[in-house]
Amino acid sequence: MKRNIHYILGSYLKGHRTALLLRRREVAKVLKCTEQFICNFENGRCSPPGPMLRKLIDIYQLDSNEVLEILIKENTEYWQSMLKIKN
C-alpha cells in the first residue's frame, strides 16, 4: 500500500495530540474545522494549511524547527519518488 505524502507530519501531530490527552473534537473546535479534517491530516491525506499548522505548534507546544525539518523531509521524499531518484 502506498503511503500518503504527509504521513510523517500527520503521525507526529497525532502523537503529540494523544500525548497531551486531547481529543480530535477539542482540537477541531479550537481550529474551527471538522474532526474529519483533523483525521485527514493525522492520517497523511493532507497537510494543515500554514496558519492552522502555526496554531497546532502552539497548542501542542511543538518545536517549530522540528516541524520544519519534518516538512522538508516529506517534500524531499516526495520529489525523490516522483523523479525516481535513489539515495
Q: What integer pLDDT is reported at residue 63 of this predicted model?
A: 97
CATH of domain 7-82: 1.10.260.40
The rounded distance, in Å, linking the Cα atoms of 62 and 12 is 10
Q: What integer pLDDT is reported at residue 1 of this predicted model?
A: 41
Q: What integer pLDDT is reported at residue 3 of this predicted model?
A: 63
Q: pLDDT tens digits for the chain (87 residues)?
A: 456 778 999 999 999 999 999 999 999 999 999 999 999 999 999 999 999 999 999 999 999 999 999 999 988 988 888 888 766
Q: Are 77 and 37 in contact (CB under 8 A)?
A: no
The rounded distance, in Å, linking the Cα atoms of 3 and 81 is 12
Which residue ranges make up each domain of the chain? 7-82
